[in-house]
């Protein structure tokens, strides 16, 4: 097949000879194409005991792409201030019930499970989500 | 140096004045390019309590020569949902903690599924992976 397409190199790099790491764009490689981005917050009930089940809330984001899309989610933790986001998963911290988030997709929804490991009261957890057109296949 | 290059703005933004965040592409800024994407089944062994293993593994060669940026997703015990790496399959929390996690080195992406909880017969999971052309350090 004839070699064809579009390539753009970073400054000071010869597009005809530079390696792929120094290309800003190449039509040879796909890229992540954002579909939906958003954010929100949810008040999550207290854990039932220090070692007990964490409080849980489920947020469902409808995407209706009809296939499994690439996605990423960040949420706040009850152990940090509300401006600090991470893909913090459902983990245990010493004797304290787990907190953080677990995330999944199917062909129609993004599911954001949020957890509060604090047994002393409900907590507000913030989240940000990114859904891309790229398919998991 | 002469100002040269290539940039495209999002709809509704003036390419001559808009910020980088409002540009689709800018030849002064690198972008994430997908090197490989794919999926593979993972056979997970029986979990028989603390003496059992309850683990499955898959590796794929990427041949980049550095540990690249990656993201993985896992089909675990839930019948339809695909979980982001390190998430727990919430459909199984009452009896089992099941999750997938991954890492890369200079030659491969390594993906694991782990089971911890009550007894669980052997089953088959699946990993979906994206490996990106980004080595973090030049």
Q: List the structure tokens of A119.
A: 């047994």
**Candidate from A31, A73, A87 with C-beta closest to B32:** A31
- A27: exposed, middle or buried (Cβ count in 10 Å: 0-12, 13-18, 19+): exposed
Q: Is A42 found in the same domain as A21?
A: no
Q: Which domain holds residue A13?
A: 1-30
**Higher-pLDDT residue of A92, A115:** A115
Q: Is A101 found in the same domain as A65?
A: yes
Chain A residues near residue B80 by CB distance under 8 angstroms: 106-107
User: What average pLDDT does the structure give for chain A?
Assistant: 88
Is the residue at B137 inside a domain? no
**How confident is residue B138, by pLDDT bands cut at 50, 70 and 90?**
very low
How many domains is chain A partitioned into structurally? 2
For residues B68 and B132, the answer to whether their CB atoms sit within 8 Å is yes
Q: Is A4 found in the same domain as A26?
A: yes
Torsion of CA B26, A28, B72, B103, to 10 degrees: -90
Q: Which of B8, B85, B90, B99 to mutate to test the interface with A (most CBs of A within 10 A)?
A: B90
Q: Is B62 found in the same domain as B17?
A: no
Chain B residues near residue A104 by CB distance under 8 angstroms: 78, 81-84, 87, 89-90
Chain A residues near residue B23 by CB distance under 8 angstroms: none
Is the residue at B76 inside a domain? yes
C-alpha closest to that of A34 among A137, A136, A131: A131
Q: Is A81 found in the same domain as A119?
A: yes
ipTM: 0.84
**Candidate from A10, A20, A104 with C-beta closest to B84:** A104
Chain A residues near residue B41 by CB distance under 8 angstroms: none
Q: Is B66 found in the same domain as B117?
A: yes
Nearest CA in chain B to A57: B90
**Higher-pLDDT residue of B45, B118:** B45
Tell me what the mean pLDDT of segment A88-98 comes to.
Answer: 67
**How confident is residue B94, by pLDDT bands cut at 50, 70 and 90?**
low
Give the CATH number, domain containing residue A81. 2.60.40
Chain B residues near residue A26 by CB distance under 8 angstroms: 33
Q: Is A106's pLDDT higher than 50?
A: yes
> Is A22 in a helix, a strand, or coil?
helix
Distant-in-sequence, close-in-space partners of B88: CB < 8 Å, separation ≥ 6: A89, A90, A102, B97, B98, B99
Give phi and psi for B17, each to the nearest 5.
-125, -15
Nearest CA in chain B to A11: B28
Interface touch A31/B30, C-beta < 8 Å? no
């Amino acid at each position: 097949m004839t070699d064809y397409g579009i390539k753009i190199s970073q400054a000071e790099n010869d597009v005809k000879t530079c390696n792929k790491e120094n290309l800003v764009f190449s039509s040879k490689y796909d890229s992540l194409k954002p579909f939906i981005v958003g954010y929100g917050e949810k008040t999550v009930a207290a854990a039932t005991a220090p070692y007990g089940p964490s409080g849980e809330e489920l947020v469902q984001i409808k995407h209706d792409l009809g296939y499994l899309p690439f996605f990423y989610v960040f949420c706040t933790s009850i152990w940090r201030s509300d401006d600090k986001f991470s893909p913090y998963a459902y983990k245990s911290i010493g004797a304290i019930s787990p907190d953080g988030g677990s995330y999944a997709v199917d062909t129609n929804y993004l599911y954001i499970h949020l957890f509060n490991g604090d047994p002393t009261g409900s907590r507000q957890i913030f989240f940000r989500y990114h859904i891309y057109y790229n398919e998991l296949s | 140096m002469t100002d040269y290059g290539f940039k495209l703005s999002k709809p509704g933004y003036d390419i001559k004045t808009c910020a980088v965040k409002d540009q689709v592409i800018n030849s002064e800024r690198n972008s994430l390019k997908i090197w490989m994407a794919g999926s593979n089944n993972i056979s997970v062994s029986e979990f028989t309590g603390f003496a059992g293993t309850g683990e499955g593994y898959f590796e794929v060669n990427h041949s980049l020569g550095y540990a690249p940026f990656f993201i993985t997703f896992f089909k675990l015990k839930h019948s339809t949902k695909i979980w982001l790496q390190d998430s727990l399959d919430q459909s199984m929390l009452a009896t089992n903690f099941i999750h997938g996690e991954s890492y890369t080195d200079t030659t491969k992406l390594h993906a694991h599924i782990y089971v911890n909880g009550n007894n669980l017969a052997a089953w088959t999971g699946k990993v979906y992976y994206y490996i990106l052309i980004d080595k973090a350090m030049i």
